[in-house]
Structures are given as C-alpha cells and as structure tokens.
C-alpha cells in the first residue's frame, strides 16, 4: 500500500501532475507516518513547484522521523545552499556522506554544492569518488551522475589548480631525526629491568 502510493506519486510527478502526486504522498504519509519516504516525495513535489520553504519543511520532517535517511539530508544540504546558508549546507552534506560513505546521491548532491560554489574540480573529484565505489544506486541516478560529471569536467577543463606549497612540508626534512613511534631502539633513557 505505502510503496504503491509512493510509486503512483512519483509517476504523477513525472507526468507533470504535482497536485495528484502531493495527494498520494500525503496519503502515504498518513498511512505510515513513521517512514520518511512519503515526506521526501512531498519535498520533491515542492521542489518541482519552487516552494523552498515547504521543501525544507518536508525534508526536515523526513529527517525527524528517520535521521539516517540520506537522500533527505543530501537534498536538504543543497536547499540550505540555495538560501546561502553555506555552513549548514556543508554540515548536512558532510554528515550525509559520513553516515553512508558510498551513497551516490549524497556524492551527487555534494558535487552540486561544489559546482554551485564554482569549485568545479571538487565537483569532479566528488563525482568520480561516488561513481567508483560500490554505490548500488539505481540506473537513473548513475546516469544523472555521469551526465553531471561530463559537464563538471568541461567546466574544470583538467586544469591543475595551483596553490602555494604548504610551508609545513619543510618540517618533514627533520622527520628523519625524530624518534620513530614504536621503535624502542630510539627511545632515550629506557631502562631494561631484569
């Protein structure tokens, strides 16, 4: 019942009937309020309708019933970014990736975050990492990630991004003179007790 309503809701959304989709998602939410998928579906409807406040509310509701629901967290991160709340956006996306390091959707949304900020190379890195791992995502998300990767690569144009060398690397020159961890021959003052 619950899954049927969700499927029908997404089908309505794809057909371009968000009102019908919303009704189905609401029914699904009423039938099983402790499951997050219906709230997420409602968020997708609101997203389609450009209703930012409702989208965030629905995503937060989904997370309140199931904090481990990664898609809601990933989408919420990007919604915060659209509101220019960079810190919260990064926090949500990072947490999504931390909770499920192989989730492709989380990688995709993190890549979108970097893309929107103009860090195309980071976007490419994130997508490549997501696609390389055992993500187990459905083919639609994989296709979307690949399409996004192509566009991000076009933007970053394989430039080697230059940054000043880390001056702390000079400290490594002295590493050879430091006692190695766990190597007892280098431990000064150690007394063997018989």
Partner 1 sequence: MLVWLLIGCSFMLMLVRIGLPFGIKSEGSVVATVTLTYREKLLLHRTDLYALGALLVLGAIGKWFPTTVELVIILVALALINLPVRYQFTTVGIACNNVLFRKWKEFEYARYRGAKLTLVPRKGFGALPLFVLASRQDEVFPYFQRFLQVRNEAPPKFLKRSVMLWLRRRLSLITLMALFGISLLFLLSACGEGPDPSGLNTAKQSNLTGVSANGTPMTQQQLNTAKSNEPFAYNLALLVDENRLGINFVWTLVTGYLVMFMQAGFALVETGLTRAKNAGHTMAMNFMIYGLGMIGYYICGFAFQFGGVGLVGIPNLGGLSALTKELAIPIGGTNWGIIGYKGFFLNDGSYDVGIAVMFLFQMVFMDTTATIPTGAMAERWKWSAFCVYGFFVSTLVYPVFGNWAWGGGWLSQLGAIGLGKGYIDFAGSGVVHAVGGWCALAGAILLGPRLGKYNRDGSANTIPGHNMVLALLGCFILAFGWFGFNPGSTLGAATNGNLRIGIIAVNTMLAGALGSVTAMIYTWVSGAKKPDIGMMGNGLLAGLVAITAPSGYVSPLFACIIGAIAGVNVVFFAGIIEKVLKVDDPVGAIAVHGVNGAWGQLSVGLFADGLANYGGLQVRGIFFGDPGQLVAQIIGMAVCFVYVFGISWAFFALYKKLFGLRVSAETELRGLDIPEMGSLGYNPDAEFYKPPIAVASSVSGGGE
Residues that bind partner 1 in the complex, under the rule CB under 8 A: 6, 10, 13-14, 37, 40-41, 44-45, 47-48, 71, 75, 84-86, 90-91, 94, 105, 108, 112, 114-119, 121-122, 138, 140-141, 144, 147-148, 151, 159-169
Question: CB of 176: closest distance to partner 1 in angstroms?
Answer: 19
**111 in Cβ contact with 126 (< 8 Å):** yes
Q: At its nearest, how many Å lie between partner 1 and the CB of residue 164?
A: 4
Nearest to partner 1 of 161, 191 (CB atom): 161
Specify the residue, 56 or 115, whose C-beta has the smaller distance to partner 1: 115
Q: Measured from the CB of residue 20, what is the shortest distance to partner 1 in angstroms?
A: 14
Taking the least distance from each CB to partner 1, the nearer of 55 and 189 is: 55
How far apart (Å, rounded) are the C-alpha atoms in residues 96 and 103? 8
Residue whose CB is less far from partner 1, 37 or 135: 37
List for the chain the helix, strand, coil content (%; round to 5).
Answer: 70, 0, 30
Task: Provide the CA 106 distance to its chain's centre, in angstroms.
Answer: 3
> How far is 22 from 45, CA to CA, in rounded Å?
6
CA distances (Å), 151 to each of 53, 58, 118, 122, 159, in order? 29, 30, 13, 13, 14
Distance in Å, CB of 28 to partner 1, minimum: 11
**Kind plus residue range of the DSSP H or E element containing 165:** none
Indicate the residue among 175 and 191 with the shorter CB distance to partner 1: 175
Listed in order, strand segments (DSSP E) in 61-108 are none
Report, in Å, the least distance between residue 179 CB and partner 1: 25
Q: Residue 133 carries which DSSP code?
A: S
- Please state the closest distance from residue 85 (CB atom) to partner 1, in A: 8
**What is the number of other CB atoms lying within 10 angstroms of the CB of residue 140?**
8
> Closer CB to partner 1, residue 167 or residue 188?
167
């Amino acid at each position: 019942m619950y899954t049927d309503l969700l499927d029908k809701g997404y089908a309505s959304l794809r057909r371009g009937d968000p009102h019908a989709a919303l009704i189905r998602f609401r029914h699904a939410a009423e039938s099983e309020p402790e499951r997050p998928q219906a709230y997420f579906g409602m968020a997708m409807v609101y997203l389609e309708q450009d209703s930012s406040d409702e989208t965030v509310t629905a995503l937060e509701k989904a997370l309140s019933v199931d904090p481990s629901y990664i898609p809601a967290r990933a989408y919420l991160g990007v919604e915060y970014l659209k509101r220019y709340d960079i810190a919260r956006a990064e926090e949500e996306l990072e947490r999504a990736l931390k909770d499920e390091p192989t989730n492709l959707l989380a990688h995709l949304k993190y890549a979108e975050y970097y893309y929107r900020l103009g860090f195309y190379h980071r976007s490419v890195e994130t997508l490549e990492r997501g696609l390389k791992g055992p993500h187990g995502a459905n083919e639609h998300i994989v296709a979307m990630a690949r399409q996004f990767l192509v566009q991000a690569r076009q933007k970053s144009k394989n430039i080697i991004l230059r940054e000043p060398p880390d001056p702390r690397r000079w400290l490594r020159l002295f590493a050879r003179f430091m006692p190695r961890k766990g190597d007892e021959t280098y431990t000064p003052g150690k007394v063997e007790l018989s």
